[in-house]
């Protein structure tokens, strides 16, 4: 049972990675005579196993390409957020003093601000692009990483081995990298999985609102939004990418919980 | 902390939830109407922000809809586009069409019981001009004077044959209303079929019959216009009986409405035409041959048939058939091979991307289909869906190569579209042709209607053959209303009048 999330995630990675090599999809060409066909219909370009959307495009291809988009954006955002968050958090926690005061209060202020709102403001203010979505999502995602690592750094700096290193005259950046950072990896990885789920969901949300990815990109959020007005007549447009999204989120959530239980803060000692 | 994270996940989910909810609502569980016996509820697409027809929002769809229930006009258009008298019983131009005399209806009263006089009409016109709203731009430097209690004279600065049509958006308020009078327009006095019971800007407007209305008070006891911007919400409300009238229904949803035995569905030809201008000032699109070839490359017949089987028809003129000045043109036949050959012959640069801009998600599918057809012959197009404000700014700045618009014409007169948008001086699409200018100015100033139609026909031919734009589709509005409503007439401009409606059995 514990392996299920891994299997599901591996499947998504496989579909997202290899699917685009097997299935061809370009959002530009439309095939109007094939519009709104139910799953399994024969259309002019083959069989639409998951049906077609309002412009006659294959939903299966959109789900597969959407998986790739989601995974890429998720990884990029989490990597960026992780980098910023861990750097800020460990620096604040280890150096204390005015640096900690400024950074910790800054984090508190950002935490008090509704994250999704800030993301929408950033994403809505500029021209739509993948880079913008990653930036907008990272703008709030790094905070959790900073909070977690700051807490760890705060407790670690009082440990004997850190004291010993300090007494031996090891430079402070080296202490940070060699004696503090390695201990943050466990909790950070656990947190990263949870953040990944949130980012994928938030990206779909932004695209659904029409302020996420450009129209030329394929995204689950856009596909779901496009099917919104056909929920009664052509449920497959919104429902199938929606299910793909939900299954991914649920499995990452379970995986995140497993990792938290194993490497979370409680197991540091 | 993880709890905080979960609440963020929840927030993100909430964004995706409305779509699911809208689909889950079971229409059949709703029963009866939320309103009482003689009352009707209208699901409005656009917010009514102000009731002042002369104010800055006067040109907005919401305000126009409210204004036609609350105020009278000199003339009003009928469903077929011809004009009939409202406050005026007769109108005639002088020999040069610069001076128009309107004879006013006898015995018309405002809802407060005071008589409507020529002075009220002239003062309203002055108020319209002084407020510099969108509709005031139709009357540059024009003046109106009351020659008696029952006659007004409108003086134009130059010959203007389109005056009656333009006056279809001019509403009369009492002379005592100041240029800016927000308090008055919270509960305005007018001579239209209804008066305001309650008004909450951009949410609901509740109307009750005006007992002093000259044509007899409306038979419905109350009309509530409620803003419902989401299409799914409007349609669900209609099917549950929460709303009685909905319009602007897309084709894909029309079938469901038609299969509902409780509803009457009707489509009505509108003045709106899908207009896709080419920016003739762009070097790539300067030649008419290139523009014609691009038009030829798009299979509009299939697109219209597939996406708008009921509410669209292939356009055959730059203006719609119910507009004065409509003359049918030779249809453009779809021929991608000829188009490609013509583009190659004209030295068209296939490596350069054209920017196609539009606003409003409802037109996305149509434009995507156009882009797809152009891509088939190797013409690359960047489809840019813009926010309305950005779209308008870019439109005026000519910051586009192809511009998509649904152009409607509340005046039912080609002067408002052809005459206003296509002369060189208008600088709206980079096209300039002195011969066209001449035709348009002659058509705009001739008092003879048949002559005007002929001239606009010639102008349309130039616009059509030089492919100033592509004119793919004439739009019909789809209305659906509850069968308990009788005597309701759909309006070609999406501004229905509820004064003739009646609730069955009440």
Nearest to B355 by CA among B314, B315, B397: B397
Contact assignment for B371 to A28 by CB distance below 8 Å:
yes
Distance from CA of B239 to the nearest CA of A (A): 13
- Interval A176-235: pLDDT, tens: 999 999 989 888 998 999 899 999 999 988 888 888 888 778 889 889 988 988 888 899
pLDDT, position A264: 63
Q: A265 touching B, CB under 8 A?
A: no
Say if residues B496 and B245 touch (Cβ distance below 8 Å): yes
Mean pLDDT of B332-361: 94
Q: Is B368 on the interface with A (CB under 8 A)?
A: yes
Q: What is the pLDDT of residue B9?
A: 45
Chain B interface mutation, best of A29, A32, A150, A241, highest count of B Cβ atoms under 10 Å: A32
> CA-CA distance, A141 to A77, in Å (whole number)?
8
Q: What was the pLDDT predicted at A267?
A: 46
pLDDT confidence of residue B15:
42
Contact A201 B9 (CB under 8 A): yes
Whether B20 and A235 lie within 8 Å, measured CB to CB:
no
**What is the span of the domain harbouring residue A185?**
4-27+60-263
Report chain B residues whose CB lies below 8 A from the CB of A193. none
Out of A89-93, A122-126, B481-485, pick the least confident.
A122-126
Q: What is the pLDDT of residue A167?
A: 93
Mutate to test the interface with B, among A26, A27, A30, A107 (most CBs of B within 10 A): A30
- Residue to mutate among B300, B357, B372, with most A CBs inside 10 A, is B372
Q: What is the pLDDT of residues B149-184, one digit of tens each?
A: 999 999 999 889 889 999 998 999 999 998 888 899
Contact of A146 with chain B, judged by CB distance below 8 Å, is answered with: no
pLDDT for the residue numbered A269: 37
B19 to chain A: which residues are within 8 Å by CB?
Answer: 208, 224-225, 228, 231, 238
Which of B3, B13, B18, B19 should we substitute to test contact with A (largest number of A Cβ atoms within 10 Å)? B19
Rounded mean pLDDT of B68-90? 92
Mean of pLDDT over chain B: 89
**Rounded CA separation B428/B424 (Å):** 8
B372/A contact by beta carbon, under 8 A? yes
Exposed e or buried b per residue across B435-466, where buried means at least 16 C-beta atoms within 10 angstroms of its C-beta? ebbebbbbbbbbbeeeebbbbbbbbbbbbbeb
**Residue B129 and residue B136 in contact, taking contact as beta carbons nearer than 8 Å:** yes
For residues B75 and B79, give the distance between their C-alpha atoms in angstroms, rounded to a whole number.
13
Compute φ and ψ for B423, nearest 5 degrees. -65, 155
Taking the Cβ of residue A101 and every Cβ of chain B, the question of whether any pair is shorter than 8 Å is answered with no
How many H-runs (helices) and E-runs (strands) does chain B carry? Answer: 14, 21
Provide CATH code, domain B72-182: 3.90.76.10
How many residues are listed for chain B in this entry?
Answer: 506
B35: confidence class by pLDDT, cuts 50, 70, 90: very low
CB pairs under 8 A between A and B: 97
Cβ contact, residue pair B371, A55, below 8 Å: no
Domain ranges of chain B: 20-49+186-268+477-503, 72-182, 270-475
What per-residue confidence (pLDDT) applies to B78?
87
Whether B252 sits inside 8 A of A233 (CB atoms) is yes
Which among A32, A198, A221 has the least Cβ separation from residue B369? A32
**B28 or B82: whose pLDDT is higher?**
B82
Contact B365 A208 (CB under 8 A): no
Q: Which of A232, A253, A259 would you mutate first to test chain B, the one with the most B CBs within 10 A? A: A232
User: Under 8 Å CB-to-CB from B55, ≥6 apart: which residues?
Assistant: B63, B131, B133, B180, B185
pLDDT computed for residue B81 by the predictor: 84
Say if residue B31's pLDDT is above 60.
no
Which pLDDT score is estimated for A111? 87
Query: What's the order of all strands across the beta sheet hosting B99-104?
Result: B88-93, B99-104, B151-155, B143-148
pLDDT reported for residue B5: 43
A205 found inside a domain: yes
Measured distance CA(B409)–CA(B325) in Å, rounded: 12
Q: Specify the CATH number of the domain B20-49+186-268+477-503.
A: 3.40.190.10
pLDDT recorded at residue B17: 42
Per-residue pLDDT tens digits for A131-163 = 999 999 999 999 999 999 999 999 999 999 999
Residue B3 has pLDDT above 60, yes or no: no
Q: Nearest by CB to B369, which of A55, A215, A230?
A: A55
Question: Predicted confidence band at B505 (pLDDT cuts at 50, 70, 90)?
Answer: confident
Is residue A71 situated within a structural domain? Answer: yes
Choose the closest CB to B252 out of A28, A229, A235.
A229
Between the CA atoms of B304, B335, B358 and B248, what dihedral angle is there, to the nearest 10 degrees?
-10
Nearest to B306 among A32, A111, A260 (CB): A32
Model confidence at B297: pLDDT above 90: yes
* Number of domain units in chain A: 1
Q: Measured between alpha carbons, how far is B480 from B394 in angstroms, rounded to an integer?
A: 35
> Does A190 reach chain B within 8 Å, measured CB to CB?
no
What distance in Å separates residue A33's CA from the closest CA in chain B?
7
List chain A residues with CB under 8 Å of B370: none
Alpha-carbon distance A169 to nearest alpha carbon in chain B (angstroms): 36
Asked whether residue A243 carries a pLDDT value surpassing 60, the answer given is: yes
Name the B residues in 246-285 with CB < 8 Å from any A CB.
250, 252-253, 255-256
SS3 (DSSP) at B423: coil
pLDDT number for residue B21: 38
Considering just the CA atoms, what is the radius of gyration of chain A in Å?
22
| B246 contacts on A by Cβ (under 8 Å) | none
Distance from CA of A166 to the nearest CA of B (A): 32
pLDDT of residue B506: 65
Q: B389 and chain A: CB distance < 8 Å anywhere?
A: no
Q: Which CATH number fits domain B270-475: 1.20.120.1230, 1.10.1740.10, 3.10.105.10, 2.40.420.20?
A: 3.10.105.10
What letter would DSSP give residue B116?
A: P
Would you call B2 and A228 a contact, using CB atoms and an 8 Å cutoff?
no
Residue B396 has pLDDT above 80, yes or no: yes
- Taking the Cβ of residue B107 and every Cβ of chain A, the question of whether any pair is shorter than 8 Å is answered with no
Are A144 and B1 an interchain contact pair (Cβ–Cβ within 8 Å)? yes
pLDDT digits (tens, 9 = 90+) for B257-281: 999 999 999 999 999 999 999 999 9
Mind listing the pLDDT tens digit for each residue in A51-108? 999 999 999 999 999 999 988 999 999 999 999 999 999 999 999 899 999 999 999 9
Summarize pLDDT for B313-325 with one digit per residue, the tens: 999 999 999 999 9
DSSP string, B148-178: ETTEEEEE-SS--TTHHHHGGG-EE--TT--
| Residues from chain B contacting residue A30 (CB–CB below 8 Å) | 368-369, 372
Helix axes A181-209, A130-156, angle to 10 degrees: 150
Q: How far is A162 from chain B (nearest CA, A)?
A: 27
Give the per-residue pLDDT at B41. 94
pTM metric for this prediction: 0.84
In a domain, A55, yes or no: no
**Inside any domain, residue A50:** no
Residue B1 contacts residue A149 (beta carbons within 8 Å): no
CB of A43 less than 8 A from some CB of B: no
What local confidence, expressed as pLDDT, does residue B26 receive?
A: 36
pLDDT of residue A265: 55
CATH number at residue A198: 1.10.3720.10
User: Which segments of A151-253 are extended strands (E)?
Assistant: none
% of chain B exceeding 70 in pLDDT: 92
Helix (H, G, I), strand (E, B) or coil at B224: strand
B252 to chain A: which residues are within 8 Å by CB? 36, 54, 229-230, 233
| Å between A32 CA and nearest CA of chain B | 6
Q: Which residues of B touch A229 (CB under 8 A)?
A: 231-232, 250, 252-253
**Is it the case that residue A247 has pLDDT exceeding 50?**
yes
């Amino acid at each position: 049972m514990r392996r299920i999330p891994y299997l599901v995630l591996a499947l998504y990675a496989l579909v997202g990675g290899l699917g685009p090599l097997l299935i061809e999809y370009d959002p530009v060409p439309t095939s109007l005579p094939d519009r709104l066909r139910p799953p399994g219909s024969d259309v002019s370009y083959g069989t639409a196993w998951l049906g077609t959307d309002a412009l006659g495009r294959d939903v299966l291809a959109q789900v597969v390409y959407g998986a790739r988009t989601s995974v890429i954006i998720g990884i990029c955002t989490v990597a960026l957020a992780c980098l910023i968050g861990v750097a800020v958090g460990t620096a604040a926690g280890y150096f204390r003093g005015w640096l900690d005061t400024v950074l910790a209060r800054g984090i508190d202020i950002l935490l008090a601000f509704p994250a999704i709102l800030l993301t929408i403001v950033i994403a809505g203010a500029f021209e739509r692009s993948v880079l913008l979505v990653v930036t907008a999502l990272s703008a709030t995602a790094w905070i959790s990483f900073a909070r977690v690592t700051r807490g760890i750094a705060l407790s670690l700096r009082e440990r004997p081995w850190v004291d010993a290193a300090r007494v031996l005259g090891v430079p402070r950046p080296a202490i940070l990298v060699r004696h503090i950072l390695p201990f943050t990896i466990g909790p950070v990885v656990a947190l990263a999985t949870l953040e990944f789920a949130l980012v994928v969901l938030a990206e779909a949300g932004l695209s659904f609102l029409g302020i996420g990815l450009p129209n030329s990109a394929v995204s689950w959020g856009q596909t779901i939004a496009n099917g919104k007005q056909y929920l009664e007549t052509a449920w497959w447009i919104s429902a199938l990418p929606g299910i793909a999204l939900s299954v991914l989120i649920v499995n990452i959530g379970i995986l995140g919980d497993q990792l938290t239980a194993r490497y979370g803060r409680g197991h540091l000692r | 902390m993880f709890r905080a994270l979960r609440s963020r996940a929840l927030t993100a989910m909430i964004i995706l939830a409305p779509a699911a909810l809208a689909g889950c609502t079971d229409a059949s569980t709703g029963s009866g109407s939320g309103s009482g016996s003689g009352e009707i509820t209208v699901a409005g697409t656009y917010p009514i922000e102000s009731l002042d027809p002369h104010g800055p929002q006067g040109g907005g769809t919401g305000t126009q809809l409210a204004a036609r229930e609350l105020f009278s006009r000199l003339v009003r258009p009928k469903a077929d586009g011809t004009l009939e008298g409202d406050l005026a019983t007769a109108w005639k131009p002088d020999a040069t069409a610069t001076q128009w005399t309107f004879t006013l209806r006898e015995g018309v009263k405002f809802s407060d019981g005071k008589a409507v006089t020529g002075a009220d009409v002239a003062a309203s016109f002055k108020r319209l001009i002084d407020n510099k709203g969108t509709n005031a731009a139709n009357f540059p430097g024009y003046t109106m004077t009351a020659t008696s209690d029952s006659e007004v004279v409108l003086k134009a600065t130059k010959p203007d044959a389109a005056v009656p049509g333009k006056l279809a958006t001019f509403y009369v308020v009492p002379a005592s209303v100041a240029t800016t009078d927000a308090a008055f327009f919270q509960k305005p006095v007018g001579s239209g079929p209804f008066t305001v019971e309650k008004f909450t800007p951009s949410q609901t407007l509740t109307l009750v019959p005006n007992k002093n209305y000259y044509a007899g008070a409306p038979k419905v006891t109350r009309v509530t216009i409620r803003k419902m911007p989401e299409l799914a919400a409007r349609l669900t409300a209609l099917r549950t009986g929460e709303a009685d009238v909905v319009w602007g229904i897309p084709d894909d949803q029309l079938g469901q409405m038609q299969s509902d035995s409780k509803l009457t569905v009707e489509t009505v030809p509108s003045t709106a035409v899908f207009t896709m201008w080419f920016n003739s000032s762009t070097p790539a699109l300067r030649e008419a041959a290139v523009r014609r070839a691009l038009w030829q490359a798009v299979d509009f017949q299939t697109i219209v048939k597939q996406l708008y089987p009921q509410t669209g028809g292939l356009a055959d003129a730059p203006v719609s058939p119910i507009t004065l000045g409509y003359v049918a043109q030779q249809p453009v036949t779809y021929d991608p091979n000829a188009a490609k050959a013509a583009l190659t012959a004209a030295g068209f640069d296939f490596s350069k991307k054209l920017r196609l801009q539009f606003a409003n998600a409802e037109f996305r599918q149509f434009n995507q289909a156009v882009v797809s057809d152009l891509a088939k012959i190797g013409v690359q197009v960047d489809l840019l869906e813009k926010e309305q404000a950005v779209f308008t700014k870019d439109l005026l700045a000519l910051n586009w190569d192809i511009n998509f618009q649904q152009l409607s014409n509340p005046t039912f007169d080609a002067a408002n579209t052809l005459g206003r948008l296509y002369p060189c001086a208008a600088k709206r699409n980079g096209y300039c042709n002195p011969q066209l200018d001449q035709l348009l100015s002659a058509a705009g100033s001739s008092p003879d209607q048949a002559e005007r139609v002929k001239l606009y026909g010639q102008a349309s031919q130039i616009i059509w053959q030089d492919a100033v734009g592509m004119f793919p589709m004439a739009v019909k509005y789809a209305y659906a209303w509850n069968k308990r409503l009788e005597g309701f007439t759909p309006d070609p401009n999406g501004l229905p009048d509820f004064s003739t409606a009646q609730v069955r059995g009440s």
